[in-house]
Amino acid sequence: MALQNKNILLGVTGGIAAYKSVELLRLLKKAGANVNVIMTDSAQKFVGKTTFEVLSENPVLSDLFFDTESSVKHIDLATSADAAIIAPATANSAAKLARGIADDALSTTLLAVTCPVMICPSMNTDMYQNIRVQRNLDILERDGWHILDPDSGVLACKTVGAGRLPDPDFIFDRVKAMLTKKDLKGKKILVSAGPTVEAIDPVRFVSNHSSGKMGYAVAGAAEKRGGQVTLVSGPVNLEPPVGVTCIDVETCEEMAVQMTANLDQADIIVKVAAVADYKPINPKTHKIKKKGDKKDIAISMGENPDILRLIGEKKTKNQFLVGFAAETDDLEKNALLKMKKKNLDMIAANLVGSPDSGFKADTNKVKLFFRDGSSFDIPLMGKDKVADILLDQIIARFNT
């Protein structure tokens, strides 16, 4: 949503990583942005202009005097831009931008922008660490531009160290964060996500189908909105969202310990995790062997603590507590019951059992219920968008 219909200027300068900007452009377009690409002469030695023109569906600006139908095209682009990204940014381009030199289409246009700017330096490690380059990046940062630190690894010049352009996905994520309103600034958000896993023996366990996608989306969206986010996560196959403190747990007991340890500092608690209500009593320390006698075996299960209920009992009047309810039937009735029993300010009722909503899906459909009796429907959409709307609703109520 942060990028829908936004005018983005993508500056590409002459580095081997210029090819990664093609993928970045694709991600920006997919998110609904209108992208205008400006290339330096040396950038065109690495990737052709046509590639950017076809994918951006806009002419590429590279020469102030020959490329354009308008003599002030660069000013039009600068004034209409919602954000500018320079990826990759060479040492030379950073130097020119820091000193206000305007001797080509990119540096001239960037002198006229008033929107947020992100610089993604990418170069040889010694170059990157050079005091002059660092000084220029420091100037740009102090001027209010965002500097995205390069990754470390093996570079094209075979050096091992800092200087690699981060992956397009990562740059894209940070551009979204740059454009997101910081309405959670100064707030601490505690989120739980994923399943819990309860051992039967060293090989087998009891768990559920939670992929962690919904909880990770909430944590990532809260971080982009300026929140200080702690995510307590059961075992999932997801990268922790950028800028989020992630604490890995396995069992309900471990999740309870970590949620309780981080509870006092939290302003908003969102419990998305699918916690196992029961766990095997006395899990075996050795693998249970198959006897082959065709007889059933029984596993005795004991009740796990209800973490959300414990938090509901402890929460102060300044904390906002949100639960999720995964239901296969009687959605509203069951969700309202849980909200009352667990002393929640809000519950997200999640009908599960269909392939496009609930567990594992990339999309979700939920209905929010509030303590004051009101409700709010979030129709089927991507979990990222559901997370943002959920946070809109929390913030609107938390602030009152």
Catalytic residues: 157
Nearer to ligand PMT, 46 or 376 (CB): 376
Least gap, CB of 266 to ligand PMT (angstroms): 14
Nearer to ligand PMT, 124 or 211 (CB): 211
Binding status of residue 351 toward ligand PMT by CB under 6 A = no
Binding status of residue 359 toward ligand PMT by CB under 6 A = yes
Binding status of residue 254 toward ligand PMT by CB under 6 A = no
Structure tokens at 151: 């990754």
Q: Are 80 and 114 in contact (CB under 8 A)?
A: no
Query: What sections of the chain are H helices per DSSP?
Result: 18-30, 43-46, 49-56, 73-80, 91-99, 105-112, 125-129, 131-142, 168-179, 213-224, 252-261, 307-314, 331-341, 383-398
Residue among 155, 165, 249, 307 that touches ligand PMT (CB under 6 A):
307
Least gap, CB of 103 to ligand PMT (angstroms): 50
Structure tokens at 160: 């091992």
Nearer to ligand PMT, 22 or 238 (CB): 238
Residue among 341, 360, 374, 380 that touches ligand PMT (CB under 6 A):
360
Least gap, CB of 365 to ligand PMT (angstroms): 10
Least gap, CB of 203 to ligand PMT (angstroms): 24
Residue among 252, 269, 331, 391 that touches ligand PMT (CB under 6 A):
252
Nearer to ligand PMT, 52 or 320 (CB): 320
Span between the terminal Cα atoms of the chain, in Å: 25
Binding status of residue 363 toward ligand PMT by CB under 6 A = no
Residue among 33, 352, 391, 395 that touches ligand PMT (CB under 6 A):
352
In the range 256-285, which residues lie near ligand PMT by CB under 6 A? 271-275, 277
Nearer to ligand PMT, 145 or 359 (CB): 359
CA dihedral 189, 193, 197, 203 (to 10 degrees): -120
Q: Which of 180, 192, 182, 256 is nearest to 219 (CA)?
A: 192
CA angle 150, 155, 161 (to 5 degrees): 60
d(CA 394, CA 316) in angstroms, rounded, equals 16
Nearer to ligand PMT, 304 or 319 (CB): 304
Nearer to ligand PMT, 29 or 385 (CB): 385
Class of residue 118 by CB neighbours under 10 A (exposed 0-12, middle 13-18, buried 19+): buried
Between the alpha carbon of residue 9 and those of residues 43, 135, 150, 153, the distances in Å are: 15, 25, 20, 28
Q: x/- contact string, 308-327, with ligand PMT (CB under 6 A)?
A: x--------------xxxx-
Least gap, CB of 210 to ligand PMT (angstroms): 4
Neighbouring residues of 206: CB distance < 8 A, sequence distance ≥ 6: 197, 198, 200, 276, 278, 279, 280, 301
Structure tokens at 308: 């959300």
Q: Are 74 and 50 in contact (CB under 8 A)?
A: no
Q: Contacts with ligand PMT: how many residues (CB under 6 A)?
A: 27
Least gap, CB of 163 to ligand PMT (angstroms): 36
**Which region holds residue 158: left if phi is over 0, alpha if psi is between -120 and 50, else beta?**
left
- The span of 35-43, 74-82, 225-233, 357-365 binding ligand PMT (CB under 6 A) equals 357-365
Nearer to ligand PMT, 137 or 266 (CB): 266
- The span of 37-45, 154-162, 168-176, 350-358 binding ligand PMT (CB under 6 A) equals 350-358
Q: x/- contact string, 201-220, with ligand PMT (CB under 6 A)?
A: ---------xxxxxx-----
Least gap, CB of 372 to ligand PMT (angstroms): 20
Structure tokens at 174: 């940070």
Would you tell me how many other CB atoms lie within 10 Å of the CB of residue 100? 11
Whether the bond between 166 and the residue before it is cis, its omega within 30 degrees of 0, is no
Least gap, CB of 194 to ligand PMT (angstroms): 6
Q: Which of 11, 210, 223 is nearest to 108 (CA)?
A: 11
By the criterion CB under 6 A, which residues form the site for ligand PMT?
Answer: 210-215, 252, 271-275, 277, 304, 306-308, 323-326, 338, 350, 352, 358-360
